[in-house]
Structure 1
Amino acid sequence: MEHVKIQYAKTHLSALLALVERGQEVIISRGSTPVAKLVPLEPHQERELGFVHYAVPNEFFDVLPENELQAWEGRV
């Protein structure tokens, strides 16, 4: 684990990010007090679509009654 001061982190951010991309962690300190940690992100995993079985009923596509249309449009 790499420990660096804020000023070093500001001027060498690209190099520190390269370390993080290789799996290392970097602690950034203000004086002798740690204030932040740079860590690698976990890879994004795609979620499977369609994991909930649901069918839209045909009535969903029916024309709304006038009073409901007015409510949705804020004219009530």
Structure 2
Amino acid sequence: MKINNLHLKIDQLPFSLQEEVNIFIDQLLAKLPEKKEKKQPVYGSMKGKIKILDGFDDPLEDFKDYI
């Protein structure tokens, strides 16, 4: 259904029924799950949580044949 058609149909209703449609739409919207705001990461918030071990960049023994 196109929005324009819906708008035209609602406009044809008497005001009291338009109010009922408005209440019904509010009830439908209340059923929708709330959208959670996506938090922006804070610069430096992971400091000290990740550790890179010594030898991280050393070649792997499994790939010696390819080096």
Which structure carries more relative contact order (alpha carbon 8 Å, separation 6+)? 1
TM-score computed with the length of structure 2 as normaliser: 0.34
Give the TM-score taking structure 1 as reference length.
Answer: 0.32
Which structure would you say has the larger Rg?
2
